[in-house]
Structure 1
Amino acid sequence: MTQAPLAAKATRRRHDREIVALAVPAFGALVAEPLFVMVDSAIIGHLGTSQLAGLAIAAALLTTAVSVFVFLAYATTAAVARRVGAGDFRAAIQQGLDGIWLALLLGVAVIAVTLPTAPWLVGLFGASDTAAPYAVTYLRISSLGIPAMLVVLAATGVLRGLQDTRTPLYVAVGGFGVNAALNAVFVYGFGLGIAGSAWGTVIAQCGMAAVYLVVVVRGARRHGASLRPDPAGIRAGAQAGVPLLVRTLSIRAVLLIATAVAARLGDADIAAHQIILSLWSLTAFALDAIAIAGQAIIGRYLGAGDVRGAREACRRMVQWGVVSGVVFGVVLVLARPLFVPLFTGDQVVRDALVPALLVVAVSQPVSGVVFVLDGVLMGAGDGRYLAGAMVVTLAVFAPVAWGVPSWGGGLTALWWAMGLMMAVRLVTLWVRARSGRWLVTGATR
């Protein structure tokens, strides 16, 4: 075998090791987070239907409030990774601290809005008179933990930028365990009901934030970074996050439109849609883990001025995305007789679910490439392009999705529209990746 194939094989192996080392722990941390709500649901579900309904409404509001600020993790990962690639660890930590201070400020602002408006926000969901008080109680108490949740996002971005995804995994698993224990004690032991569950979650989130702060502060002292808030750095972090905020809001709009259209199709269709969306989200977590690895790896290569390394890493991660998508698609098809009965025993729901699920399975390889390229461009700090591309995608998807009922289409047609949405994202991201305009080197973009 000649030297060139041997070198290429060694390069692929190096990238594979990097991807696995970052993506596997990232996947564990991503999966651990939704388990907080699952534990709350399991514990509160035994208190009564009204309490569980109240939790569902409050959890939806909290999830939206936190997910809107996910740019705290993504933008911080890219910025810190660039500094690491450039060999400036002090500046990398300093950049991360700016993100954490921004998270605290945003968290306080969210509390200031949520506490007085909680009844109104709950009312927007049309909660019943019996469920609304529980929703308001849970929302008001849990909102006190939002600053901690946002700090966790920002600090997770810091560690990912430092090429460390294991610590976030350990913290997420530990937080999940503490949350489960406190919920059980407060709800059943102390008889605090839904309020006890909310307090347990707040304490667990604050504990996670405290652990992250200890880790980041130690890194700051080790590398001589200042712990004081830097207004210029915080402002720069906010400005860098605006494009990613636009991207996130556009994605949330796509999901909300899809759910609204499914609701118009009928009860069986919306029930089937919720099941499919849960499965789609689960595969998205796995694919997003590769994207997170992409953010950290690409940011580091570009910070080090290694354009060739960034291109090779991107190419290898795209291959990972395709293979992962094919595997997930095959699993969804072959395993559907096993998991579909776990979700519903209603034959009407199953009849609506299965053909739409096959559409999701077919589109998984496309999703794999989309998630990877999304992560690559985030790692490159190409937020403006990502925002514009997602707005274009939303503009294409919205009229098609809203037209499904009027055209006589059902749930399967709606998920073909979702497939179209992913195809548009693939085209916009692929064009950008091929152009090479994202390959901007240096410690800052």
Structure 2
Amino acid sequence: MVGSVVSTVDERVPARRVFGLALPALGVLAAEPLYVLVDTAVVGHLGAVPLAGLALGGVVLSQVSTQLTFLSYGTTSRTARLHGAGRRGDAVSEGVQATWLGLALGVVLLVAGQLLAGPVVRALSGDPGAAAASVSWLRIALFGAPLILVTMAGNGWMRGVQDTTRPLRYVLLGNGISAVLCPLLVYPAGMGLEGSAVANLVAQLLSAALFVRALVKEKVPLRPRPKVMREQLGLGRDLVLRSLAFQACFVSAAAVAARTSTEAVGAHQVVLQLWTFLSLVLDSVAIAAQSLIGAALGAGSAGRAKGVATQITRYGAVFGCALCALFAALWQVLPRAFTSDPGVLGEIPHAWWFFVALQPIAGVVFALDGVLLGAGDAAFLRTATLVSAGIGFLPLIWVSLALGWGLAGIWTGLSLFMVLRLAAVVQRWRSGRWAVVGAPPARA
């Protein structure tokens, strides 16, 4: 383990290095939502029931996989430290163990999903036809669960060794072939909604196979090591709890919007989808931060880690301000691209200006999330997120329901949640306590 600080002066890295990592990462993050749009467009022509079935099944599958993103984010942190210490073989070995862990968890999800698909979907849907269609789609799509998790692990270790280009190629190849295959299976082959699930499965199989091939070509030992997997699960526990806090907030927001009015639900959906898309843009910079911060700390350079943290935070603030200005200018035009309903358009401004004003805050928060994840400070992020949700978002959002504040109340809750997170991560960043140098000891 590297135990000394090589540099005490804050150092920077060239901007092209940051964006050389961030832009391919953005492509990977955007590939899945773009494929979902294609899938939705293809299935949408089958009618309302298959489309509702796809929507329900997609929500269940995405919620399950979202809770296990530690296989990418946690693996990046551990791998980057080893890469920074000049131990590429050990860094790639972390990817091997994360891949085994992904396969094991994926098999558990597959078995549990086959048993619970019917009850879960029926609990979410009041339409028996949509529920039956969704179960049919989900039972096929669940075979992709181990493959999805293998791809997450592959993204994680490759980001850690500062290779974000190959993951982009792998994901684009899988999704591209699947996008061509989907309409062929749904229509000429006559498979209907099930054809969509098979096309999804093909994409996941291709991407996962390419990541596994990349591991094999590294010529590192491929045997499973339970001790390392247990350590990865320890970091994963904190990230899963953090993710659950996010889900509790957004599910509560949807529930309160649903109890306000149909127009409020539609308006909330439009603004929330824009928020989610912009989160991907800002998260790509955070991914670059994870890789660079982990490598700097693994190399023993707290100065470089702090310099990069400052640099990334400034980038996040600048991007957030630019997005704020852009979407403020588009407030009368962009919502009409999503809906022509006068009631929904009338509700959108109640959320829109919160969404706009939050962009600079989100830019800084997401950047510092990446810094702290790269430093392996997941326990702090877990606590900060849980506290922000528990004392900020959740109480305010349910009070807004009781007092009839509507969308303004929902987005006030989200704003408080983000402000509390901002205060926490800025304080942590300025303290410097996250900049702990060193890499894990060599394993026998």
Q: Fold match, TM over 0.5?
A: yes
Distance 1:427 1:44 in 2: 44
Specify the alignment match of 1:430 in structure 2.
Answer: 426
Distance 1:226 1:29 in 2: 27
Shift, 1:337, TM fit: 2.7
Distance 2:11 2:367 in 1: 19
DSSP-derived class of the 1:439 partner = coil
Contact kept? 2:73, 2:156, Cα under 8 Å: yes
Distance 2:251 2:153 in 1: 26
Specify the alignment match of 2:264 in structure 1.
Answer: 269
Distance 1:53 1:348 in 2: 23
Specify the alignment match of 2:245 in structure 1.
Answer: 250
**What does 1:275-424 align with in structure 2 at a 5 Å threshold?**
275-396=270-391, 397-424=393-420
Cα deviation code 1:257-290 (max 9, x no counterpart): 1111111111100110000000000110000001
Cα deviation code 1:378-432 (max 9, x no counterpart): 0000111111111101102111111112223121231121111100110111111
Higher deviation after alignment, 203-212 or 412-421: 412-421
Distance 1:363 1:152 in 2: 32
> Does residue 93 of structure 1 match 2:89?
no
Contact kept? 2:11, 2:305, Cα under 8 Å: no
> Does residue 440 of structure 1 match 2:436?
yes
Distance 1:298 1:444 in 2: 15
Contact kept? 2:85, 2:439, Cα under 8 Å: yes
Aligned-partner residue type, residue 230 of structure 1:
R
Contact kept? 1:15, 1:316, Cα under 8 Å: no
**What does 1:163-182 align with in structure 2 at a 5 Å threshold?**
163-182=162-181
Distance 1:256 1:15 in 2: 40
Distance 2:35 2:223 in 1: 32
Q: Which runs of 4+ in 1 moved over 4 A?
A: none
Contact kept? 1:35, 1:176, Cα under 8 Å: no
> Does residue 208 of structure 1 match 2:207?
yes
DSSP-derived class of the 1:144 partner = helix
Higher deviation after alignment, 178-187 or 364-373: 178-187
Aligned-partner residue type, residue 75 of structure 1:
G
Specify the alignment match of 2:3 in structure 1.
Answer: none
Shift, 1:158, TM fit: 0.7
Aligned-partner residue type, residue 297 of structure 1:
L
Distance 1:179 1:332 in 2: 33
Shift, 1:19, TM fit: 1.2
Specify the alignment match of 1:47 in structure 2.
Answer: 46
Specify the alignment match of 1:229 in structure 2.
Answer: 224
Shift, 1:11, TM fit: 5.7
Specify the alignment match of 1:62 in structure 2.
Answer: 61
Distance 1:257 1:98 in 2: 36
Contact kept? 1:404, 1:413, Cα under 8 Å: yes
Distance 1:303 1:99 in 2: 19
Shift, 1:231, TM fit: 1.3
Specify the alignment match of 1:6 in structure 2.
Answer: none
> Does residue 150 of structure 1 match 2:149?
yes
Specify the alignment match of 1:124 in structure 2.
Answer: 123
Aligned-partner residue type, residue 189 of structure 1:
P
TM-score by length of 2: 0.95
- Any gaps of 5 or more consecutive residues in structure 2? 1-9
> Does residue 29 of structure 1 match 2:28?
yes
Aligned-partner residue type, residue 427 of structure 1:
A
DSSP-derived class of the 2:128 partner = coil
Distance 1:22 1:373 in 2: 16
Aligned length, in residue pairs: 431
Distance 2:325 2:170 in 1: 32
Distance 1:230 1:291 in 2: 29
Aligned-partner residue type, residue 388 of structure 2:
T
Aligned-partner residue type, residue 161 of structure 2:
L
Distance 2:198 2:351 in 1: 39
Distance 2:45 2:341 in 1: 23
Identity of aligned residues (%): 38
Cα deviation code 1:117-139 (max 9, x no counterpart): 11101011124111111100011
DSSP-derived class of the 2:233 partner = helix
DSSP-derived class of the 1:405 partner = helix
Cα deviation code 1:320-347 (max 9, x no counterpart): 0100001111111112333211111111
